[in-house]
Structure 1
Amino acid sequence: MTISVFCILLFAALLHASWNAIVKAGSDKLYSAIAVSGFSALIALILLPFSPQPSLASVPFLAASCVLQVIYTVLVAKTYQVSDMSQTYPLMRGTAPLLVALISVLILGDTLSLVAWSGIVVICLSILGMAFNGRHQARRGIWLALLNSCFIAAYTLVDGSGVRLAGSTLGYTLWTFFMNGFCLLLWAMLARHQEISRYLVANWKKGLPGGIGTMGSYGLALWAMTQAPLAVVAALRETSILFGAVIAFALLKENVAGLRIVAACGIAAGAILLRLS
């Protein structure tokens, strides 16, 4: 992996942690996630006429990704209703890269070096260490987090394959965010019109930067998927947990100590291994 791809992925991870912090700080997690998705859809709609369009071969992947990501967003909100976000979020994000690595190598034909495998495993184990550090989790929350990791792996693999066929990373990214945000916002408007309207008006100053952050984060990751193996991109993207820990400590005033510091160091070590692969 070139140094430029590596640095771009780390920046994408920082953006990912930033928009997740915006969702976490929201008074209602589901409405906050819908607000971020809605504003990203609006930005995508404005930019789409000026972007090269993806090829027709990528359309089935866009449709499948939309279904998977809408389910993922709803499951995230449900998971946070029954369990602690600070532990279930790392559990979701830490399991998914291993699934991506196994499927991309066994089915999609990607190849990984021993060093790359080592980096992926170190990152995943470190993230899982964060997930299980702290108070005992409700069993339902753990199962929901593990189920959601399957959807994360699924849309990562679908989008990784689709963007390679699209011929335009920007066009594929914009259509992805427009479709996902439109579907979520349409559902919210039909089901809870007054509540979501009030929330969007009151929280647009958070939703707009969140939309920019999520679009930039995933757009850069999609571009990286055209430059490097899917498993490596997926694992490096989850270094967002490391940035998230820093944000939680510095801005959200959460306690970050003990095993979480060790796990953060492990994530950094895994990222170095992936850079060397």
Structure 2
Amino acid sequence: MTPLVTFAVLVAAVTHAGWNALAHHIKDQLLSFTLIAGGGALIGLALAPFAPFPAAGAWPYLIVSALLHVGYYVLLMRSFTLGDFGQMYPIARGTAPLIVTLLAAVFLDEVPDGRQLLGVAVACAGLTGLALWGIRGKGARPHGPALLAAGATGVAIALYTVVDGTGVRASGTPLGYIAWLMVLEGLAIPAYALWRRRAALLPQLRPYAARGLLGAALSVAAYGLVLWAQTQAPLAPVAALRESSIIVGAAIGALLFKERFGAPRIAAAAVMAVGIGLMLHAG
């Protein structure tokens, strides 16, 4: 990957961890994701008139991705409800890059070269170490349903990453693709919340509106950068590099939620940095 692509994905990682922290900070997760998904749809509608319309070949991928993203939101809500941010976030994000590497090799013929594959493997080792430290820390350990929800979230991430990596390349317009993806995926959760809460929904949303809409803006920015990067580089290193957001997430968990960071997480961050260096100089 070029330095510019690497920088874009690292910025995406920081913004991604930020919106996940905002989502976790709103204790009523249905309200949290209603604001983030609904705000993303509004941003998509605002962007769409200023972006080229995605090519016809991209629309099947957009529809499948929107369904996968709704599933991802549901699983992520469940994970954050059942477990600590510093535990659930690393598990959910850390399981995705290796699955993406395998799927990209099988379906897109993107077989990493030796150094690139080593970089992905080293980065994933750092991610795995961070996830395991989250489980083994002194805080409350996640139980079976929490681990299952976080692991399933990781599978959903891998699936939509490969679908979107293919779709955005077919679209001819990363900006148009992200705009319409946000519109398509952003309607389901607000519609469900309206059905569940009815007239009570708007008063319940109001106290969290600013935080939720900020989370929506960060979410759109983060994924828009990733989609652009997927048009410039193979999916596997982009996916692994994006998950450096776990390091940021661990730091946020320590600073804002008073969760442990500790020497093992510092070591995991160092391993992740080595993996990033290998991916940067691959090819």
Are residues 1:102 and 2:102 paired?
yes
* Structure-1 residue corresponding to 2:191: 186
Superposition deviation, residue 251 in structure 1:
4.0
Check conservation: 2:86, 2:259, Cα contact below 8 A.
Answer: no
* Structure-1 residue corresponding to 2:71: 71
More displaced 10-residue stretch of structure 1: 3-12 or 76-85: 76-85
More displaced 10-residue stretch of structure 1: 73-82 or 89-98: 73-82
Change (3 A) 1:195 1:85: farther
* Structure-2 residue corresponding to 1:200: 205
Q: 1:249 aligns with which of 233, 239, 254?
A: 254
More displaced 10-residue stretch of structure 1: 174-183 or 215-224: 174-183
Superposition deviation, residue 164 in structure 1:
0.4
* Structure-2 residue corresponding to 1:150: 155
Are residues 1:91 and 2:96 paired?
no
Check conservation: 1:19, 1:209, Cα contact below 8 A.
Answer: yes
* Structure-1 residue corresponding to 2:7: 7
Superposition deviation, residue 43 in structure 1:
1.3
Check conservation: 1:40, 1:177, Cα contact below 8 A.
Answer: yes
Q: 1:173 aligns with which of 166, 173, 178?
A: 178
Give the distance between the partners of 2:236 and 2:34, measured in 1 at CA. Answer: 28
Aligned to 1:109, the other structure's residue is in SS state: coil
Change (3 A) 1:59 1:273: same
Aligned to 2:262, the other structure's residue is in SS state: coil
Give the distance between the partners of 2:281 and 2:199, measured in 1 at CA. Answer: 52
Give the distance between the partners of 1:37 and 1:122, measured in 2 at CA. Answer: 33
Give the distance between the partners of 1:276 and 1:198, measured in 2 at CA. Answer: 52
Superposition deviation, residue 57 in structure 1:
0.8
More displaced 10-residue stretch of structure 1: 138-147 or 34-43: 138-147
Alignment of 1:226-237 (within 5 A): 226-237=231-242
Q: Which 5+ residue runs of structure 2 have no aligned equivalent?
A: none
Give the distance between the partners of 1:271 and 1:199, measured in 2 at CA. Answer: 42
Check conservation: 1:12, 1:216, Cα contact below 8 A.
Answer: yes
Superposition deviation, residue 224 in structure 1:
0.4
Change (3 A) 1:195 1:116: farther
Aligned to 1:228, the other structure's residue is in SS state: coil
Superposition deviation, residue 155 in structure 1:
0.6
TM-score (norm 2): 0.93
RMSD: 1.5
Q: Percent identity?
A: 39
TM-score (norm 1): 0.95
Check conservation: 1:169, 1:223, Cα contact below 8 A.
Answer: yes
Q: 2:278 aligns with which of 270, 273, 277?
A: 273
More displaced 10-residue stretch of structure 1: 188-197 or 87-96: 188-197
More displaced 10-residue stretch of structure 1: 69-78 or 194-203: 194-203
Change (3 A) 1:35 1:16: same
Q: Which 5+ residue runs of structure 1 have no aligned equivalent?
A: none
Measured against aligned partners, the alpha-carbon deviations of 1:172-228 in whole angstroms (never above 9, x if no partner) come to: 000111111112211211222244322322111111211110000000000000000
Give the distance between the partners of 2:107 and 2:99, measured in 1 at CA. Answer: 12
Q: Give aligned pairs, total.
A: 277
* Structure-2 residue corresponding to 1:82: 82
